[in-house]
Structures are given as C-alpha cells and as structure tokens.
Structure 1
Amino acid sequence: MAYQLQAVAGGELLLRGASEGLVGACVVPLGGGVALVPMTDRLVDAVGEGDSGRALGFWRLPGGFEAVLARWSRAGAVAYVEAEYFGGAGEQSAAVWEGGELAWGPVHVPEGREFSADGGPISQALRRLGVVAREGQDEFATLGLGRHRDNERWIRAGGGR
C-alpha cells in the first residue's frame, strides 16, 4: 500500500495564525500542540510563484515557499517534510526553519539507504520542533503520522476542504 506525505509541520497555534487566509491551507492537529499543513494543489498554486516543486531538492516544495517558511519561523520553528513509500520501500526528506532562516537540512534519505542512528529525517525534524518520542517509538510514530496514507486523507481528518 502506498504512503505519501508532503506537509509543513509546526506548532498548531503558529500554523493556524501563519496560514490564515492562505488559499488551500488546512491545519490538521496531531496532538501535543503540533499540527500539519498538507501541501494541497491549491496551496502549491497559491504559494508557488508559477513553480510546482523541486525547491531545495524536495518533490513538492514550490519555489519561493522557502521564504514563506522562513517568515513563519520567526514565531517558532517549522519543518517541511516529505515521505513516499510503496511496499515497504521509500524515501524521506525534511528541513527545519528557525528564527527566520533555514536552520537544519535539507536532509534527503533516498530509497535503499538506511536512516542514521538518529532516525529518519522526519523524526529528526520533529525532534527539532520539540516533539518527544514515546518509549519504544520514534517521533514520526509518536505523532501518528502513519494514520493516513496521503494528503487528502489528512485534510479530511482535519476538517478541511
């Protein structure tokens, strides 16, 4: 079964305020004060400055959106995360903005490469946002990021659209 995620992660209150009025933005609470803003087609079109993706080596991060994330990060750290899996194989990427600038990453772990001892890029990014993993889980699992298989399901779960 396929799994895809392309989203901004950060504090729920920060993301609600920062994304207010932004076409296609839906804030999905994850618990513990953390939320996602999945990258919908409408959101990509609204922030993409005519570019549908590939900024900083990400598949879905539109050109110019890094400046928006840097601006949002003045109020608190935000991360851009991507994952794609099919049949147990896949890849993860993440980057974190803090204090108005890119502070970590981007880190890309392509298919066939093992995660570092610190975990996958998404868990590492979430850790930088202050997420603390439950015993026996990583940050990805602690927030339940495996609950939904794609952005559309995350949006429906968050009451968007």
Structure 2
Amino acid sequence: MSYELQALIGTRELLTVAAAEVPAARVVPLAQGLAMIPVTSAVLAALQGDGSVRKPRGGAGFGWHSDGFELRLAAWSKAGPIACVEAEYFGGSGTQRAAVWADGAVTLGPLTIGEFEPAPADGTPISHVLRRIGARTEEGRADEFESVGLGRHRSTAGWAESAG
C-alpha cells in the first residue's frame, strides 16, 4: 500500500489567510485545531512565482520548492508557525521530510528519514514538526501524525478532493 503527501500544516486561521492568496489552495481541517493545504501541482505552480523549480539557497532543502515558494512560507510564518511536510511510502518503506517556518525563517529542520532508515525513537520528522506547531499525541494513538488524522487519506490528491 502506498502513501504520498506534500502539504503545508498550521492553524486553521493561518492557513485560511494563506489560502486566500492562492486561488488553487484548499484548506482541509485536521484534529487539534490544525489544518492543511495539500500542495497539488496547481498550488505549487501558483506558489512558485515564475514557475521554475530551483534548489533553495539556505532554505529547507525540499527539491520541489522554488525561491518564491519559500518566500511565501517565510511571510506567512510571521503570523504563526507553518510546517511543510512530504512523505512517500510504498510497501512499508519510504521517505519523510519536514520543516517548520516561524517568525520568517526555518526554525526546525529539515528533518529527514531516508528509505530503509528506521524511525527515531522520539518520532518521525512529520511528528516532530507537528509537535513543534502544537499537536500532541492523544491517548490510544501512536503519535502526532495519527492524532491529527494524517492517515485519513493516502495521497495529496485524496486530501485535495476531500476539501470539496
């Protein structure tokens, strides 16, 4: 079974303001007062400015970020922390990368788990950034990822479709 996600995660209020600047963006509620914007190809194109993907200089190292994308994240993060997450799994192995922007800069990450690397005892990159932006593990849940409901859909497209 596969799982693929590229998303921005923050408070519902923050992401509602951010999405208003990007017509293709849709806000999907998560648990614990958080929400996500699935980063679909349309959202990514709108956030990239001139449309070219370049390796960011001094940014979080996500291959699909452009300079324009990171400038938007930095600007939005002045109103509150915002996490950028990506995950790609197939058949139990895969990768995760996550970072948090706050006060206009990357403040955590990028945190990465490569293919076939075991998850650290203190949590995966996505759980770390969720913790940093206020998520907590709920009783009976494995971690912050599960507690906020990130297992509800298996793909970025599935999340985008759930936004309606």
Contact 1:70 1:99 in 2 (8 A): yes
Residue pairs, 1:123-142, within 5 angstroms: 123-135=127-139, 136-142=141-147
- What CA RMSD, in Å, does the superposition of the two structures yield over aligned residues? 1.5
In structure 1, C-alpha distance between the alignment counterparts of 2:109 and 2:132, rounded to whole Å: 11
Cα drift, residue 62 of structure 1: 3.3
In structure 1, C-alpha distance between the alignment counterparts of 2:90 and 2:63, rounded to whole Å: 16
In structure 2, C-alpha distance between the alignment counterparts of 1:111 and 1:129, rounded to whole Å: 26
Shift in alpha-carbon separation, 1:124–1:137, aligned structure 2, 3 A: same
In structure 2, C-alpha distance between the alignment counterparts of 1:68 and 1:100, rounded to whole Å: 9
Cα drift, residue 54 of structure 1: 5.2
Query: What residue in structure 1 maps to residue 155 of structure 2?
Result: 150
Q: What TM-score results when the alignment is normalised by the length of structure 2?
A: 0.90
Equivalent of 1:112 in 96, 108, 116 = 116
* SS of equivalent to 1:156: helix
Aligned length: 159
Question: Comparing 106-115 with 50-59, which one deviates more in the overlay?
Answer: 50-59
Q: What TM-score results when the alignment is normalised by the length of structure 1?
A: 0.92
2:42 is the alignment partner of 1:39: no
Cα drift, residue 63 of structure 1: 3.4
Shift in alpha-carbon separation, 1:39–1:104, aligned structure 2, 3 A: same
Aligned-pair identity in percent equals 45
Query: What residue in structure 2 maps to residue 4 of structure 1?
Result: 4
Query: Where in structure 1 do 4 or more consecutive aligned residues deviate above 6 Å?
Result: none
